[in-house]
């Protein structure tokens, strides 16, 4: 299942979390990574640990061309290449040891107020560009929460059309001590399959 999930772009953060350049730790598909936006406006998603002494790069600081480790100053760009090793470059200026250093890096894109990451093999699919991302008079609210459960539980719950009325309307109102008629019920539920999944629609009375 993990290999299948890697073949899709995933939203991993809100763009507004990086109104100021910085770095944040991210755990995806069992990997510890760090997401950052450098001073040049480029996004990077790289291994969380420096190749030198495995220092935590989420404590590093962003510069014009990448993220610099706060332990010994090694600088990495969004492709995972080491661009600078301050003391090694002084001791052995012609050795260019940094050219042999790479850390894991993944493609990142910004779209619809979200930061997306792709952790799978080439060729990359297109970043999901849904119509509502560009509605001229639309309102968009991005909510992020950490829920201590398996992802499949959330996914299964989100496509259950009946629980919306009962859990989010009837049961919630009863907890508040309110009485009265139950919320509108379904008149028709319809599912349509297509090449990459399915879509469901419902009509309520």
Same domain, 33 and 103: yes
Give a yes or no: residue 73 inside a domain: yes
Regarding whether 120 and 169 lie in a shared domain, the answer is no
| Range of the structural domain that residue 7 is part of | 2-134
Cβ contact 90:83 at 8 Å: no
Of the pLDDT bands very low, low, confident and very high (cuts 50, 70, 90), residue 14 is very high
Number of domains in the chain: 2
Domain finish residue from 134, 162, 187 = 134
* CA pseudo-torsion sign 48, 51, 55, 57: negative
Residues 130 and 167 placed together within one structural domain of the fold:
no
Kindly state whether residues 121 and 199 are assigned to the same domain.
no
Same domain, 82 and 117: yes
pLDDT tens string 139-174: 778 888 888 888 788 888 877 777 777 777 777 777
Residue 183: pLDDT band (50, 70, 90) is: low
- Reported pTM: 0.78
Asked whether residue 28 falls in the same domain as residue 111, the answer is yes
* 161 domain-assigned: yes
The CATH number linked to 37 is: 2.102.10.10
Question: To the nearest whole percent, how much of the chain has pLDDT over 70?
Answer: 98
pLDDT in tens, 172-181: 777 888 777 7
Q: Is residue 169 part of a domain?
A: yes
What distance, in Å, lies between the first and last C-alpha atoms of the chain? Answer: 38
Same domain, 110 and 16: yes
Q: Which of 134, 160, 188 is the last residue of a domain?
A: 134
Structural domain includes residue 142: no
Same domain, 25 and 102: yes
Q: For the chain, give the longest Cα–Cα distance.
A: 81
Render the burial of 42-81: b for 16+ CB within 10 Å, e for the rest.
bbbbbbbbbbeeebbbbebebbebbbbbeeebbbbbbebb
Q: Does one domain contain both 128 and 159?
A: no
Classify residue 87: in a domain, yes or no.
yes
Residues 124 and 155 reside in one and the same domain: no
């Amino acid at each position: 299942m993990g290999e299948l999930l890697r073949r899709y772009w995933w939203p991993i953060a809100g763009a507004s979390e990086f109104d100021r350049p910085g770095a944040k730790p991210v755990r995806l598909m069992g990997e510890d990574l760090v997401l950052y936006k450098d001073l040049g406006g480029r996004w990077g998603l790289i291994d969380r640990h420096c190749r030198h002494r495995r220092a935590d790069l989420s404590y590093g600081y962003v510069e014009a061309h990448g993220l610099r480790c706060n332990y010994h100053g090694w600088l990495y760009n969004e492709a995972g290449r080491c661009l600078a090793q301050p003391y090694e470059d002084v001791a052995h200026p012609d050795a260019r040891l940094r050219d042999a250093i790479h850390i894991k890096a993944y493609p990142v894109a910004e779209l619809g107020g979200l930061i997306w990451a792709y952790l799978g093999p080439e060729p990359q699919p297109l970043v999901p560009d849904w119509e509502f991302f560009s509605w001229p008079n639309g309102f968009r609210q991005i909510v992020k929460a950490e829920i201590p459960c398996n992802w499949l539980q959330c996914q299964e719950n989100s496509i259950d059309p009946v629980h919306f009325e009962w859990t989010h309307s009837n049961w919630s109102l009863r907890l508040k001590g309110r009485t009265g008629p139950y919320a509108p019920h379904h008149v028709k539920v319809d599912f349509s399959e297509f090449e990459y999944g399915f879509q469901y629609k419902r009509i309520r009375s």
